[in-house]
Structure 1
């Protein structure tokens, strides 16, 4: 951009000097027009003049070139959006606002199209790891080992409490939790028999409150559907043990806030005594990620809470080293709770593959909520279908735009270009005029010759 702008600025100086001497620098006009056209292909530009001698180029409403002066543009990374580069004006450090052009198209692809696809892959990865780990830990390997994650965990927080330092000042300022599961097994079709409301905060950068009411005539299934349909950044489902599970989704505003539960509050008893998620109800018992130490607001055991993964979890999916070194630790056998201690403490036996089947079923059919899709299969299928639709629409839009560009270019050339037919007609006209003039001069010569030489004067 700056190279093209500098070339236009230099031409402006030369053109002004030549015009001041009374000449028309047509070749320089053409060169400047070509440079402006090249600039217009990159960004949305418009042309103006403060007076007849000062040529100005605008990007949006901001002056880029004014006669012999140029406003520099520079690139800088945005720390709030993973260091993605943006364009800024050097004179005031404000962001360059683009509305069209090749650069704006690339920025939109980066910030919206590709970002959505990256979020989808990350969501698939984090839900895959969490689902498999939560089931695998309850099973037993052939060697008798249990409580082992199948996938390695790499979390934002470097502690078991989920406390995390977001701005790098050395002080933890949030609690980053991806999933929490209740202690109690529930029947999703049973009437609740209690009243209350759940308060959530959207992960949209504005902490928009979302209220989920429930009444004594509601079933748990109805409340879960209400939560999921609210698009509040939290999804609800029952796990393999019919325990209520709440998980975070991607952020609507900043990828650095992906997979962080923002706020959980219950005025009644659904998330407290009934499901065993929160310790107490009301504002005082609410979990809020904007404070540290909030993991203590949960009744759940540590193994029933998943801390938020490090940024872009799809980039660090890795099988646990303990399993790689000894495949006998793969927990294919299902455990059982002996003694009523709410823990799978005894294996079913070496020939039992129930845990492996349970993991397979969870990844294929179970309603575990991956983002706002019910199952992994639905999530994957909807993603592929949407990609196909977007590709088709993009091709159609390109074809339409190319047709319009061709039409506009033809109109442009008809106005500014040279018509061969018109030029040929003019050449014939000029030739006939020249021939007529030549005949006129020849006739005058003959008349003078007669008058002077033949009349004997």
Structure 2
């Protein structure tokens, strides 16, 4: 025979269960705008039916339900979408950082305005042609000198601006390194907190959310994989467990580096190594993982993400000990251009005859002036040529030292005429001369156009891939939000549903109470 209080207990369980559901709904509504929050639900589970199968079971028609109980309060989340999002977020982090570094370089090169290197060089060649037409004109000579100064100043400014941005990237690498290490530390600490809660049979959903937000942030810096490790004890099967995070290469293969180790409760700090061994200067040589005491040469560091793109922009040592990276390569091209162009121009200038020489102001045995020179800090190598280029002191001292006349002397004699502009034409023709730019045989304009064209193509490609990766990431994020985010309309519907069920359970208790009142107070009084 059933207990008289069976219905009361069934209704009490329903009352308690729907109260928990309403509380969870309220928690969802309260966190509707909390970044990274995953909506939660209470899993309704039927309690065991009465009676249990046995030889002494009561004689009732069949098993009778005993009500409902709360299984777990669980996050609504899909792990596959998390993995997809982190993969796309990693690609976007790489391409966005690369695009920004190239766009800053484009701003410095300034080729779309009238102040870029190409336009300044064009004005310089034009001034040489004007001088050839009026070799004795003081104004034409002044324009040539000023145009030469403008060429040198433009190369100096461009090079120093590139160096300034490169230094900023060196500082930013240090900031990003600290952000990565801070994120790893926070994930490790959350692992410890979760490991202290799960063995007691609880699901720390809010801690899970905080950890997943940090893992999402980490995926932007480097490519990672996440493995779940059970916490042990009485942890539920649906518990997320502790996270072990491994470093992957750009193809998704394990590099053997563990960033967060859930077994030892330790994390692997990252240190970016610079060539000078002191601050954030010099080229990047490698990445050190302090917990493993392992250093990977950056030329072998193949984990995509914003860290790799930032170092590639700043510059690093390649496998042969040379310079590589976006900014070092551009500065190297400028140096090569200036060193080759200035040498060819000076050689042609020395072959000409200046007004000073024609007027006999320079004495016997004079061998010609250089038009361009370098400041004292220049070491004579190609590197730094664009930074230290200047107009020679002799040209700055007197415009009459510009060699516009052609040498018509024989047997080593230097003979020229004041009205001759033949050498000025030859100097103008250096623009179209085929020169050897470090193994690339072409003229000055073509070489520079190739450098600018390559930069433009790289920038366009980075922009396109940034947009593509952002579109894919946003698409996955939208899918993830459709699963995990809080819908106020849905929560209001649930709230009404749970409220009605709660009211019904309360009414059921009232009804059972009336039955018990009749049994206790109304039965057995008929013969009185």
Relative to the length of structure 1, the TM-score reads: 0.58
Deviation at 1:421, TM superposition (A): 4.6
- Corresponding position: 1:316 with 2:518: no
Secondary structure of 1:46 counterpart: strand
Deviation at 1:84, TM superposition (A): 1.0
Deviation at 1:28, TM superposition (A): 2.7
CA contact (8 A) 2:336 2:382 kept: no
Deviation at 1:407, TM superposition (A): 0.4
In structure 2, relative to structure 1, the CA distance for the partners of 1:138 and 1:116 (3 Å cut) is same
Query: Where in structure 2 are the equivalents of 1:260-299 lying within 5 Å?
Result: none
- Aligned equivalent of 2:259, options 54, 60, 64: 64
Flag structure 2 segments of 5+ consecutive residues without an equivalent.
Answer: 1-179, 232-240, 249-254, 316-324
In structure 2, relative to structure 1, the CA distance for the partners of 1:324 and 1:397 (3 Å cut) is same
Aligned to 1:352: 420
Distance 2:219 2:306 in 1: 9
Aligned to 2:224: 45
Q: Which structure has the greater CA radius of gyration?
A: 2
Aligned to 1:78: 275
Deviation at 1:92, TM superposition (A): 2.4
Q: Deviations over 1:336-364 (max 9, x none)?
A: 3412xxx4x3122122221121111112x
Distance 2:246 2:198 in 1: 23
Size of the aligned set, in residue pairs, is 302
- Corresponding position: 1:366 with 2:438: no
In structure 2, relative to structure 1, the CA distance for the partners of 1:72 and 1:387 (3 Å cut) is closer
Deviation at 1:323, TM superposition (A): 2.1
Q: Deviations over 1:43-62 (max 9, x none)?
A: 11221246556531222221
Aligned to 1:132: 345
Secondary structure of 2:271 counterpart: strand
- Structure number with the higher strand fraction is 1
- Corresponding position: 1:331 with 2:408: no
Distance 2:212 2:480 in 1: 13
- Corresponding position: 1:388 with 2:456: yes
Distance 1:359 1:66 in 2: 67
Aligned to 2:312: 108
Aligned to 2:195: 16
Distance 2:190 2:328 in 1: 41
Aligned to 1:201: none
Distance 2:378 2:217 in 1: 48
Alpha carbon RMSD of aligned pairs, Å?
3.2
Distance 1:45 1:327 in 2: 64
Deviation at 1:22, TM superposition (A): 4.7
CA contact (8 A) 1:57 1:64 kept: yes
In structure 2, relative to structure 1, the CA distance for the partners of 1:20 and 1:449 (3 Å cut) is closer
- Structure number with the higher helix fraction is 2
In structure 2, relative to structure 1, the CA distance for the partners of 1:426 and 1:403 (3 Å cut) is same
CA contact (8 A) 1:74 1:88 kept: yes
Distance 1:348 1:95 in 2: 60
Distance 2:517 2:198 in 1: 50
Distance 1:454 1:50 in 2: 61
In structure 2, relative to structure 1, the CA distance for the partners of 1:84 and 1:157 (3 Å cut) is closer
Deviation at 1:366, TM superposition (A): 2.8
Distance 2:295 2:460 in 1: 39
